[in-house]
A and B are shown apart, each in its own frame.
Chain A
Amino acid sequence: MSTDLKNTPTPSRTDEDILLSVEDLHVWFELKKWGFSHVGWVRAVDKVNFQLKRGEAIAIVGESGCGKSSLMKTLLLLNRPHKGRVIFEGRDISNLKGRALKQFRAQVGFVQQDPYGALPPFMPVHRILDEPLVINGIKNKKEREERIRNAMQEVALTPVDDFLNKYPHMLSGGQQQRVVIARAMILEPKLLVADEPVSMLDASVRVEILRLLRKLQEEHNLSVMYITHDLSTVRYFSERIFVMYAGKLVEQTHIEELLDNPLHPYTNALLTGTSVPDAANAKHIKHVPPGEPPSLVNPPPGCRFHPRCEHVIAGKCDVEEPPDLEPLPGHLVNCWLYADGQTRYPGLEARG
């Protein structure tokens, strides 16, 4: 691996190294009755803070409905923040409009959840890739042609001529996802956001696509946000991981640290819940919390995980929202268990 970013020591950081910074971000959707009278808010993203460096890959992990897509759409300005700021290359982009918005969007590539729905069925691959170039004012046909071919080479849709005129339905799921990735990369973005890029694909194809994304990240010094509900794929892909539950980031740290020393009870539940293929699994019951994630309209008071948490501290967790704590350097957790300097999860021995 020529450009292994993961092992190069991080130089002392200046603001230059930060590509994206999210500050106190809230994404709330208004709930209306009969289309006008306000009845409440869906708090899809609540008080989220993080920074993303240039060339860094991070993963956001969480269950369905926890706000992963809402967070990502806000970074692409498909949603506007309800409160808080999104800073891209030192500039607050939350209120960009018109040309400035278009320019910003050209710097962010987007691979969405479902490759089948992402591609227009009536367009051949060539046109799908040509469109963003035309829209962004690249008039020279020869240049466009060259960039299309390069992008297809990069995602291994080769021989290129075999694919240029194919329509999406003629491609396998993995090939469709390659087209989606080529389209996301064609304007040479600084940031790539991949929302569950592999969850609809077969296991064998998943690995292929994740490797491709990692290769692109390393070769282009690209920042990548990888959104997934599958913890087991994360460590092959990203350096840092954010765990999200019910609209909140509950834990942020390096992936190796998270696997060695998971702190938040929800993270621990996810790790227990993730199976590895082993015949012994069939012989015992898995120790996972019952229940389901809460409604984001009326989330539980205090810690949003408290109704399912086996370590809940009565009178504390169910009353007061836990703060973001940093029990170990670079390891953030949003849980009362760590308010007094604890650095290990108390249930660690119980977990099989």
Chain B
Amino acid sequence: MSENPLLRVEDLALYFKTRVGQVQAVDHVHFELKKNRAVVILGESGCGKTSMAKAILRLLPRNVGQYSGKIELDGQDVMQLDDEAFRTQIRWVKISMVPQAAMNALNPVLRAGDQVAEPAMVHLNMSKEEALARAKVMFQHVGVPVDFLARYPFELSGGMRQRVAIAMALITNPQLIVLDEPTSALDLLTQANIMNVLKTIKWETGTSYILITHDIATSSELADEVAVMYAGQIVEVNEAESFFSQPLHPYSQKLMASVPRLYGDKEPDFIPGRPPSLLNPPAGCRFADRCPLRFEQCDREPPTFIVDGHPVKCWLYEKEASAAFPPAANGSGDAS
């Protein structure tokens, strides 16, 4: 626990202004990530995963309503940096990103090799030759034949384009890579091959990952830790071992129970209802409406309880928690 985390996200919030009100896409979330570890951000569509990634990389749309909190990278609070400093010192240099649907977002008129080389030229001041030589190495890392350096995106399959997008994120040798649904649109075997690539890179380079996905089974291919997001909030952070065998939050339990399995007798179950609107989230626990374990307490918003070192945002854990943040208003169950 005492080892300094690579990334510490505290109270991070990102709201969007719209004609009908503020969308509370990321609502005061906390989590930490150690060096050479991978945290998976799991959650249903629209729960705020991509928004959180954008908040971390400060890739903000114009209609931002609120953007606040603390993001510490290697002990430095990067929220304090101005946009120019963030752009030259952090984005691509220390944290890079493979955006959602990256394979369809490559520049159609640039050769794959040139696209991969570009971040190295811009952010590491490499010459074109140096950068291309490095791009070639990256191609080998991610399993793209090196003669594809000269090809245009439309000449590549979806799986190959996705590998190119990963190579682009890798070339600056960042400490942290944010992968937003890196395999969701791909075929099973391509998916498995790309997960193999990501694992190998992690083992060989010591990089860390934030992997965003709604695919629970695939997420276990990379996860050291799992953070579950529901309606803009993180409701559980847990180690992969405990999460995949015994998730704590009722939502996590329902999510795990919804996974179809190849073998065994357990039928997958579904979660009735749908998540609340992020314009006007309910005052109590946001999952209460769909929760099979709901009780009176749940009409009030639960704090995040610390249970065996794992944050869980659910009243069921009030008694066994060693601490809670923010401390519960009436002091009950808060030992910190």
| Contact surface of A with B, Cβ cutoff 8 Å | 63-64, 172-174, 202-208, 211, 229-233, 235-236, 259, 269-279, 281-282, 285-286, 288-290, 292-293
Residue of A with least CB distance to B191: A273
Interface CB pairs A-B, < 8 A, 20: A203-B215, A204-B270, A208-B270, A211-B270, A229-B187, A231-B188, A232-B217, A232-B260, A273-B189, A273-B192, A277-B217, A279-B239, A279-B245, A285-B196, A285-B199, A285-B200, A286-B192, A292-B157, A292-B159, A292-B190
Are A232 and B270 in contact, CB atoms less than 8 angstroms apart? no
Interchain residue pairs A-B with the least CB separation, the first 8: A279-B240, A204-B271, A208-B270, A63-B187, A275-B217, A207-B270, A273-B192, A232-B260
Among the listed B160, B191, B224, B263, which residue makes an inter-chain contact with A282, where contact means beta carbons less than 8 Å apart?
B224
Q: B244–A278 contact, CB under 8 A?
A: yes
B259 touches A281 (CB 8 A): no
- What per-residue 1/0 map shows which CB atoms of B180-205 lie under 8 Å from chain A? 00000001111111011001100000
Classify chain B: how many residues form its interface, as a range. 35 or more
User: Are B241's CB and A279's CB within 8 A?
Assistant: yes
Interface centre among B45, B158, B222, B254 (most CB of A within 10 A): B45
Measured between beta carbons, the chain B residues less than 8 angstroms from A64 are 158, 187
**Which residues of B sit under 8 angstroms from A259, Cβ to Cβ?**
262-263
Residues of B within 8 Å of A278, CB to CB, are: 220, 244
Q: Which of B196-247 contact A (CB under 8 A)?
A: 196, 199-200, 214-224, 239-241, 243-245
The answer to whether A277 and B216 touch (CB under 8 A), given A207-B269, A288-B189, A289-B189, is: yes
Q: Knowing that A232-B259, A274-B188, A276-B262 are A-B contacts, what are 8 other residue pairs whose CB atoms are under 8 Å apart, sorted by A's residue number?
A: A204-B271, A206-B260, A229-B187, A231-B262, A276-B259, A278-B220, A282-B221, A286-B192
A residues less than 8 Å from B216 (CB atoms): 203, 277
Asked if residues B189 and A269 are in contact (CB atoms below 8 Å), the reply is yes
Q: Is the CB of A277 within 8 A of B256?
A: yes
Q: Which residues of A contact B214 (CB under 8 A)?
A: 202-203
Residue B38 is within 8 A (CB to CB) of chain A in the complex: yes
Q: Which of B296-329 contact A (CB under 8 A)?
A: none
**B268 and A202 contacting across the interface, CB-CB below 8 Å:** no
Q: A236–B269 Cα gap in the complex (Å)?
A: 11
Given contacts A202-B44, A273-B191, contact A282 B259 (CB under 8 A): no
Q: What is the CA–CA distance of A173 and B274 in the complex, to the nearest angstrom?
A: 10
CA distance A251 to B223 in the complex (A): 34
Q: In whole angstroms, what is the CA distance A296 to B258 when docked?
A: 36
For the complex, give the distance between the alpha carbons of A100 and B196 in Å.
52
B147 contacts partner chain A, Cβ-Cβ < 8 Å: no
Contact partners of A272 in chain B: CB under 8 A? 192
B3 adjacent to chain A (CB < 8 Å): no
Cβ of B16 to closest chain A Cβ, rounded Å? 19
Q: Which partner residue on chain A sits nearest B185 by CB separation?
A: A64
Identify the closest chain A residue to B267 (Cβ).
A236
- Contact at B221–A281, with CB atoms within 8 Å? yes
Query: Which chain A positions have C-beta within 8 A of B218?
Result: 275
**B254 A204 Cβ-Cβ under 8 A:** yes
Bound CA–CA A289/B222 (angstroms): 19
Interface check B261, CB cutoff 8 A: yes
Q: A226 to nearest B CB, angstroms?
A: 13
Bound-state CA distance A285–B200 (Å) is 8
User: B223: which A residues are within 8 A, CB to CB?
Assistant: 279, 282
- Report the minimal beta-carbon distance from A148 to chain B, rounded to whole angstroms: 24
Task: Give the nearest-CB partner of A275 in chain B.
Answer: B217
Q: A63-B189, A276-B261, A282-B223 are in contact. Are A172 and B274 (CB under 8 A)?
A: yes
B-chain residues with CB within 8 Å of residue A236 when the two chains form the complex: 260, 267-268
Enumerate chain B residues within 8 angstroms of A230, measured Cβ to Cβ.
188, 260
In the complex the two chains form, what is the Cα distance from A270 to B192 in whole Å? 10
Cα distance A286–B259 in the bound complex, in angstroms: 20
Q: Mark B130-172, 1 if CB is under 8 A from A, else 0.
A: 0000000000000100000000000001111000000000000
User: Are A203 and B259 in contact, with the CB atoms below 8 A?
Assistant: yes
CB–CB B222/A282 < 8 A: yes
Q: Give B143's nearest chain A residue, CB to CB.
A: A290
- On whether the beta carbons of A282 and B193 are closer than 8 Å, the reply is no
For B261, the chain A residues whose CB sits under 8 A away are 232, 276
